[in-house]
Amino acid sequence: MVKTIIEFISSIANDFVDFVPPGLVIVVATAFINDGKYLKQARQEFVGTLLMIAFTFSAGKWIGKENVTVAWISHFLGVLASDFLGGGPQVNPACTLSMWCLGKVSFTEAYVRVAAQMGGGLVAFPLYHAVSKAMDWTPFGGPEFHLDDRAEHPVEAFLSEFCATVCLLFLIYTVNWEINFGTYHYLIKQSLTAIGIRALIELFPTAGPAMNPMLATAWCVFGVGKKYEFPADMNHYTVYWIAPGLDAILASSLYVVYAGGTMLGMKLPIGPLKPASIKTTKKD
C-alpha cells in the first residue's frame, strides 16, 4: 500500500517537473529574499514580462501577419500597453544592471528583478505556444543567430547585439531623464521608446536582436531545439549576456560622465559634461 502511494506521488512529481520550465522553482524562491521586501518588484517584473512578450511578439504573428504596417502598429501599441498595465517594469536584465550601476536600485533588488524577468520569460513562451496551438494561430518566434561554421566565434552577432543594446540604453536614459515632455511625458516617452525598439530591430537583425538577455535565453530554452534546458553553447551567453552586460557598464559610465552621479557607488574622475541648470532668484 505504501509502495503504491509513493509510486503514485513520484509519478505525479515527474509529470509535473516535465511541464515546469527549468529554474522556475529558484525564481519563485528568489522573490521572497530579505523577508519578501522586494516581492512587489518581483511580481511587477514577472507580470510585466508576460505582458510584454504577449503584446509585442504577437505583432506579425497573431496580429498583422499579412500586413507589415498593422504589425508595426501592433508592436508600437504593445510596448505602450505592456508598460502601462505592468506598472512600469524594467523587463530587461541589461536595463536592470544599468540601474544598479547608476545606483537606482540595490544589488538585492536588481537580483530579484532579473530572476522574476527570467521566470516570466520561461513561462511566457510555452504558455503562448499552447495558446497558438489551441487557437490555430502562428506560434511566436524568438531572437537567435545561426553560424555556418560552429567553430567560428560569433563576432558579427556579438557586435550587432552590442550596438543594438547600447543604443536602447541611451534611448532609455534620454527619454526618461534628459527630456521632459510636460503633461504628456509618459505617453510621448513610451511612444519614442516603442519607435526606437522597432527601428533597432530593423537596423541590427543579425542576432534577432534580443536587446534583452532574458528574451534570448527564455526563447532558447523553449524554442531552440525543443530540449527544455538552458543552452550549453557558450556562444549564446557571449552574444546575449556578455555583450549586453558590457553595454550596461559602458552606457552607465558614459551617462555618469555626461550627467554626473555615481558609477557603482563611485564618483568618476571625468565629468559631468552636462551644462548646469541656470537658476534665477527673485530679489526682494
If pLDDT is split at 50, 70 and 90, which confidence band does 47 have? very high
In this predicted structure, the answer to whether residue 134 has a pLDDT above a threshold of 80 is yes
Per-residue pLDDT tens over the stretch 164-174: 999 999 999 99
Q: What is the sign of the dihedral through the CA atoms of 127, 129, 135 and 137?
A: positive
Listed in sequence order, the residues at least 6 apart from 78 whose beta carbon sits closer than 8 Å to its beta carbon are 52, 54, 55, 56, 58, 59, 194
Mean pLDDT, range 153-172, rounded to an integer: 94
Identify whether the C-beta of residue 237 lies closer than 8 Å to the C-beta of residue 225: no
Residue 265 CB-density burial (10 A; 0-12 exposed, 13-18 middle, 19+ buried): exposed
CATH number of this structure's domain 22-259: 1.20.1080.10
**pTM, to two decimals:** 0.88
pLDDT of residue 150: 54
Q: Shortest CA distance to 75 belongs to which of 253, 238, 198?
A: 198
Residue matched to cell numbers 505602450: 80
Cell of 73: 502598429
Per-residue pLDDT tens over the stretch 173-190: 999 999 999 999 999 999
Mean pLDDT, rounded, of the chain: 88
pLDDT of residue 14: 55
Where is average pLDDT lowest: 15-19, 68-72, 128-132? 15-19
Mean pLDDT, range 120-133, rounded to an integer: 92
Listed in sequence order, the residues at least 6 apart from 203 whose beta carbon sits closer than 8 Å to its beta carbon are 164
pLDDT of residue 224: 72
If pLDDT is split at 50, 70 and 90, which confidence band does 233 have? confident
Listed in sequence order, the residues at least 6 apart from 107 whose beta carbon sits closer than 8 Å to its beta carbon are 100
Per-residue pLDDT tens over the stretch 253-284: 999 999 999 999 999 999 899 987 644 444 44
In this predicted structure, the answer to whether residue 147 has a pLDDT above a threshold of 60 is yes
DSSP, res 260: -
Distances (CA, A) of 12 to 7, 18, 19, 27: 9, 10, 11, 22
Identify whether the C-beta of residue 75 lies closer than 8 Å to the C-beta of residue 194: yes
Q: What is the sign of the dihedral through the CA atoms of 207, 211, 214 and 219?
A: negative
